[in-house]
Structure 1
Amino acid sequence: MMEIETERLRLVRFEQQHAPELFRLMNDPDWLRFIGDRGIRTVDDAVRQIEERYDVHHREHGYGFCAVLEKQTSNLVGLCGLIQRDTLPEIDLGYALLPEFRGRGYVQEVARACLDYARDHLGRNQVLAIVNSDNQRSISVLVRLGFVYRGPYRVPGEERDIALYVWQA
């Protein structure tokens, strides 16, 4: 089971109690712009997302998207984790934070811990990241983490290319 602690944060599996914040995150204008509309219209939809997507991925793979909690407050600040997408040959790093927690270095901290987990616990020497080409903040995070731009990538069923980045251990 993927549980990670950093200096300021804890990654834990999503639980139903996290659904209100997950609902808010997945309806944030930046999420909708850069990640896309996942059809989460109610808190109950967020509960289903946790049960039918996040929990299932954890059961099948032993890792997945996790709730990112501040250690001091136990507030949910966002999500981060590793997932195996059907459309990618390697595991993918994903992350998003609620607006009030951005700009504190949390993504860098928690994403680095996920990469360490991929290398040390999953034996992965390569992790991918896909990002909207105009999401400069996210691209900057990836570059600081050591990801290298691989080129444009078209997710099957999508209308436009996104950027594919690769991290090597």
Structure 2
Amino acid sequence: MRETPRLEIRQLVVDDAPFIQTLLTSPSWMEFIGDRGVKNEADARWYIRDVQQANYEKYGFGLYLIYEKALLQPIGLCGLLQRDFLDAPDMGFALLDEYAGKGYAREAAEAVLDFARSKGYSRLYAFTIQHNPRSQGLLGRLGFSHTRTMPSPDGRHEFWVFERTL
């Protein structure tokens, strides 16, 4: 998809399953994003194949693997999601905890913003739960503005909705 000075951002492949299992079961993923039903490597293969690869085919985008070139390893995900209730994609990102706060999420998100522009999108959304100030701060630095709140689908949290014109 894109490359930056430190990162390669590419589509997920089934061989990424061990990393996806680790990320989607990490404490911060569970706290800020929620359980996606990935408990083992077989579930991670399902998530890659039937969710993300299906999104690539259906929408031309999805979540992409963030691969740190100097470390020679994956460190997170960043990309676009299409929600049934939105008229434009929303941007999402998540890193393993040990890579947070080092500028990786911003670097990957800026590449995804460039990708969205190249696809002709004029607006993007992003969501965080109310108690996720780190992601909210990054969205502000990326030019997103908090526009409203809405309940999460499970009713357990309040989502903060952000928007950005491209």
Q: Output the TM-score relative to the length of structure 2.
A: 0.95
Partners of 1:58 and 1:64 within 8 A in 2? yes
Q: What is the CA distance between 1:16 and its match in structure 2?
A: 1.7
Alignment of 1:66-77 (within 5 A): 66-77=64-75
Partners of 1:4 and 1:113 within 8 A in 2? yes
The structure 1 residue matched to 2:146, chosen from 145, 149, 155, is: 149
Counterpart of 2:134? 137
- Number of equivalenced pairs: 166
Greater alpha carbon shift after TM alignment, 92-101 vs 148-157: 148-157
Structure 1 runs of 4+ aligned residues shifted over 3 Å read: 155-160
2: CA distance, partners of 1:17 / 1:73: 18
Q: What is the CA distance between 1:12 and its match in structure 2?
A: 0.8
1:8 aligns with 2:6: yes
Alignment of 1:1-169 (within 5 A): 3-119=1-117, 121-169=118-166
1: CA distance, partners of 2:3 / 2:69: 9
Gaps of 5+ in 1: none
Partners of 2:130 and 2:157 within 8 A in 1? no
Partners of 2:12 and 2:48 within 8 A in 1? yes
The AA in structure 2 aligned to 1:24 is T
Q: What is the CA distance between 1:36 and its match in structure 2?
A: 0.5
Match of 1:81, SS state, is strand
Greater alpha carbon shift after TM alignment, 80-89 vs 39-48: 80-89
Match of 2:141, SS state, is helix
Identical residues among aligned pairs (%) = 35
Partners of 1:87 and 1:155 within 8 A in 2? no
Q: Output the TM-score relative to the length of structure 1.
A: 0.93
Partners of 1:87 and 1:156 within 8 A in 2? no
1: CA distance, partners of 2:156 / 2:136: 21
Q: What is the CA distance between 1:102 and its match in structure 2?
A: 1.3
Gaps of 5+ in 2: none
Greater alpha carbon shift after TM alignment, 148-157 vs 91-100: 148-157
Q: What is the CA distance between 1:155 and its match in structure 2?
A: 4.0
